[in-house]
Structure 1
Amino acid sequence: MNNATSPKGIYAIAPERRLGGAAHTALVQRRKAAEKRFRYYGLGALVVSLMFLVLLFASIIAKGWTAFEQTYLRLDVDFATDVLVPDGDRSEQALSSANYPALVKNAIWAAFPDVTSRGEKRQLQDLVSSGASFELRNIVMNDPSVIGTQRSVWVPATAFVDSLIKGQMDRSLPESERKLSDLQISWVDHLLSNGHIEKRFNTMLFTDGDSRDPELAGIGGAIMGSLYTMLVTLLLSFPIGVAAAIYLEEFAPRNRWTDLIEVNINNLAAVPSIVYGLLGLAVFINFLGLPRSSPLVGGLVLTLMTLPVVIIASRAALTSVPPSIREAALGMGASKMQTITHHVLPLAMPGMLTGAIIGMARALGETAPLLMIGMVAFIVDVPKSLTDPATALPVQIYLWASSPERAFVERTSAAILVLLAFMVLMNALAVVLRKRFERRW
Structure 2
Amino acid sequence: MTNPGKALPEGATSFARIQAGMAKRRAAERRFKMLGRLAVSVGLLFLSVLLISIVSKGYTAFWQTQMRIDVVLAAEDIDPEGTRNAETLRKADYSSLIKQSMRDMFPEVSGRRDKFALYGLVSNGAAFDLRDKVMADPSLIGTKVSLWVPADDDVDMLMKGHIDRNAAEDDRRIKDNVLGWINQLEAEDRLELRFNIDFFTKGDSRDPELAGIRGALMGTIFTLIVTLSLSFPLGVAAAVYLEEFAPKNKWTDLIEVNINNLAAVPSIVFGLLGLAVFINVFGLPRSAPLLGGLVLTLMTLPTIIIASRAALKSVPPSIRDAALGIGASPMQATLYHVIPLALPGMLTGTIIGMAQALGETAPLLMIGMVAFIADVPQGVFDPSTALPVQIYLWADSPERAYVERTSAAIMVLLGFLALMNLVAVLLRKRFERRW
TM bracket, shorter-chain basis: over 0.9
Q: Aligned match of 1:137 in 131, 140, 154?
A: 131
- SS state of the match for residue 66, structure 2? strand
Closer, same or farther in 2 for the Cα pair 1:18/1:39, shift >3 Å?
A: farther
Identical-pair percentage: 63
Tell me the alpha carbon deviations over residues 16-75 of structure 1, each in whole angstroms, 9 at most, x when there is no partner: 696748x96777656644443333222222211111110010000000000000000001
- How many angstroms does 1:149 deviate by? 1.2
Q: Aligned match of 1:304 in 298, 306, 324?
A: 298
Query: After the TM superposition, which parts of structure 1 deviate over 3 Å for at least 4 consecutive aligned residues?
Result: 15-21, 23-35, 86-90
- How many angstroms does 1:114 deviate by? 2.6
Distance in 2, matches of 1:19 and 1:103, equals 105
Closer, same or farther in 2 for the Cα pair 1:38/1:335, shift >3 Å?
A: closer
Question: Counterpart of 2:91?
Answer: 97
| RMSD over equivalenced CA pairs, Å | 1.9
Counterparts of 1:363-382 in structure 2 under 5 Å?
A: 363-382=357-376
Question: Counterpart of 2:350?
Answer: 356
Question: Counterpart of 1:211?
Answer: 205
Letter in 2 for 1:370: L
Distance in 2, matches of 1:346 and 1:17, equals 63
Question: Counterpart of 1:177?
Answer: 171
- How many angstroms does 1:431 deviate by? 1.4
Distance in 1, matches of 2:117 and 2:30, equals 68
Q: Aligned match of 2:144 in 135, 141, 150?
A: 150
Closer, same or farther in 2 for the Cα pair 1:296/1:16, shift >3 Å?
A: farther
Question: Counterpart of 2:4?
Answer: none
Q: Aligned match of 1:196 in 190, 197, 200?
A: 190
Distance in 2, matches of 1:431 and 1:195, equals 49
Letter in 2 for 1:271: V
Question: Counterpart of 2:338?
Answer: 344
Closer, same or farther in 2 for the Cα pair 1:375/1:19, shift >3 Å?
A: farther
Distance in 2, matches of 1:223 and 1:17, equals 73
Counterparts of 1:23-422 in structure 2 under 5 Å?
A: 32-422=26-416
Letter in 2 for 1:240: L
Distance in 2, matches of 1:280 and 1:16, equals 68
Distance in 1, matches of 2:413 and 2:70, equals 38
- SS state of the match for residue 347, structure 1? helix
Distance in 1, matches of 2:34 and 2:343, equals 41
Distance in 2, matches of 1:120 and 1:339, equals 81
Tell me the alpha carbon deviations over residues 282-325 of structure 1, each in whole angstroms, 9 at most, x when there is no partner: 11111100100000000000000011111111111111111111
Letter in 1 for 2:276: A
Deviation larger for 43-52 or 208-217: 43-52
Closer, same or farther in 2 for the Cα pair 1:260/1:84, shift >3 Å?
A: same
Distance in 1, matches of 2:89 and 2:217, equals 31
- How many angstroms does 1:156 deviate by? 0.1
5+ long unaligned stretches in structure 1? 1-14
Distance in 2, matches of 1:161 and 1:19, equals 86
Closer, same or farther in 2 for the Cα pair 1:267/1:124, shift >3 Å?
A: same
The answer (yes or no) to whether the contact 1:366–1:394 under 8 Å persists in 2 is: yes
- How many angstroms does 1:109 deviate by? 1.4
Length, aligned pairs only: 427
Distance in 2, matches of 1:387 and 1:239, equals 22
Closer, same or farther in 2 for the Cα pair 1:17/1:228, shift >3 Å?
A: farther
Distance in 1, matches of 2:272 and 2:392, equals 19
Letter in 2 for 1:129: S
The answer (yes or no) to whether the contact 1:83–1:102 under 8 Å persists in 2 is: no
Letter in 1 for 2:367: I
Distance in 2, matches of 1:333 and 1:39, equals 52
- How many angstroms does 1:140 deviate by? 1.5
The answer (yes or no) to whether the contact 1:16–1:27 under 8 Å persists in 2 is: no
Closer, same or farther in 2 for the Cα pair 1:242/1:17, shift >3 Å?
A: farther
Distance in 1, matches of 2:418 and 2:60, equals 21
Distance in 2, matches of 1:19 and 1:221, equals 81
Tell me the alpha carbon deviations over residues 384-407 of structure 1, each in whole angstroms, 9 at most, x when there is no partner: 110100000000000001112110
5+ long unaligned stretches in structure 2? 1-6
Distance in 2, matches of 1:16 and 1:102, equals 97
Deviation larger for 346-355 or 228-237: 346-355
Distance in 1, matches of 2:27 and 2:357, equals 45
Question: Counterpart of 1:8?
Answer: none
Question: Counterpart of 1:5?
Answer: none
- SS state of the match for residue 287, structure 1? coil
Distance in 2, matches of 1:366 and 1:359, equals 11
Closer, same or farther in 2 for the Cα pair 1:140/1:301, shift >3 Å?
A: same
Distance in 1, matches of 2:244 and 2:28, equals 49
- SS state of the match for residue 191, structure 1? helix
- SS state of the match for residue 146, structure 2? strand
- SS state of the match for residue 195, structure 1? coil
- How many angstroms does 1:245 deviate by? 0.8
Letter in 1 for 2:236: V
